[in-house]
Structures are given as C-alpha cells and as structure tokens.
Amino acid sequence: MEHITESAREKVGQVLARVDKAKLSTGARSKSLLGLPVKRIVPQDLHSLLDYAGGATGLVAAYCANTVRARMVNTTLFTASTGVSLLTDYKLSLARIIPIEVHEAIDYAWGLSNVLSPFAFGYYRKDKVVSAIQIALGIGTIATSLITDYRAFSRSNGARSRVHRSERATRPHAKRRANKKK
C-alpha cells in the first residue's frame, strides 16, 4: 500500500511540475464590458475548460429530457457550444478561426439561449429538471463570461495574439520618434 502512495505522490508531483511550466494565455487585458466595473478574474484557459464542461452538461440534459423539444434544443445548444469552442482562438481548440472577442459575444448569446429556451419552446413544465439545469447553465455561462479575462492565444508561441504582435512592431518606431524629438 505504501508503494502505491509513493507512486501516486510522484505522479501528482509530475503533473504539478507540468502545470507550473505551462504558460497561461497572455496579451492585453480584456476591456470592461460596456464600461461596467467588473473585475476579470477567471483566466481564459480555465474558461475554455468551462466551455467544454458546459457543452457536456447540455448533452447530459438532452439525454435526460422527457420531451422531444427539450432533447432537440439541448442537443442543438451542445453542438453549437462545442463547435464554437473547437474553432475559437484559444489553446484547447482544433482550429483557431473565431476571434476571442467574437467568442465572448457568442457566450452571452448561448447563455441567454439556455435561459430562455425552456420558456420559448414550452417544455419548462414538462421537463422541470432539464429546464432548471439549462437555466442554471445559462446564468452560470453569462456570469463566468462577465468575469473572464479573455486573452487571445497565438499559434506560433503562445505569447501574444496577432493584434498584439502588430502593437509590438510599432513600439520601436514610436521610440525612434521620441528619440528624434530629444
């Protein structure tokens, strides 16, 4: 039994060492949403995991649904969430096609769709548990999106997004101008 404990501690140590070496997405901090004084505390990398977990929760809700409408809506929302996550410009995607700013807007729309769907499609009375799960998922998505610090992840080295590379390119030029004025 002691050998198993030693082995488990060693593996946990290895995983923690890898996490320490991994770099979180970097770049310019997210601007506040509509000027609201909301602090962005959730890292984008954690948010990307939550996106997949939210999609999976929608899939579970689809399988637990009693009505065809609830099943179809939750399957559609699962597909949309997973598809957008797989195509967003962050580490856990297959192709970085959707800019992170667009992903943020989609998160709000997806969360609102989850909240409103049980009422819009009329299954909130017949599928109360699925409706509650869906509404909680929608509110959670919106709340998490409000406090997520979205930073784009670069394909090349993970250091900065394309926008930030162009900003970096103009900095030496600005320094030269400042030096000429002196």
What does the pLDDT look like over 150-174, one tens digit per residue?
775 544 444 444 444 434 444 455 5
- Nearest-angstrom CA–CA distance, 104 and 16: 29
Predicted confidence at residue 29, as pLDDT, reads 58
| Cα distances (angstroms) measured from residue 180 to each of 33, 99, 174, 176 | 38, 37, 10, 6
- In DSSP terms, 149 is beta-bridged to 43
The predicted model gives 74-96 an average pLDDT of 93
Q: What is the pLDDT of residue 3?
A: 60
Percent of the chain with pLDDT over 90: 50
Torsion angle of the four alpha carbons 161, 163, 168, 173, in this order, in degrees rounded to the nearest 10: 160
In angstroms, rounded to a whole number, what is the distance separating the alpha carbons of residues 93 and 59?
Answer: 19
The whole-angstrom separation of Cα 180 and Cα 119 is: 65
Rg (CA), the chain: 21
pLDDT, one tens digit per residue, over 117-156 is 999 999 999 999 999 999 999 999 999 998 888 775 544 4
What's the confidence (pLDDT) of residue 153? 52
Which pLDDT belongs to residue 140? Answer: 96
Global pTM reads 0.68
Model pLDDT for residues 14-52, shown as the tens digit of each residue? 755 665 565 555 555 556 666 666 778 888 889 999 999
**Which uninterrupted H or E stretch holds 126?**
none
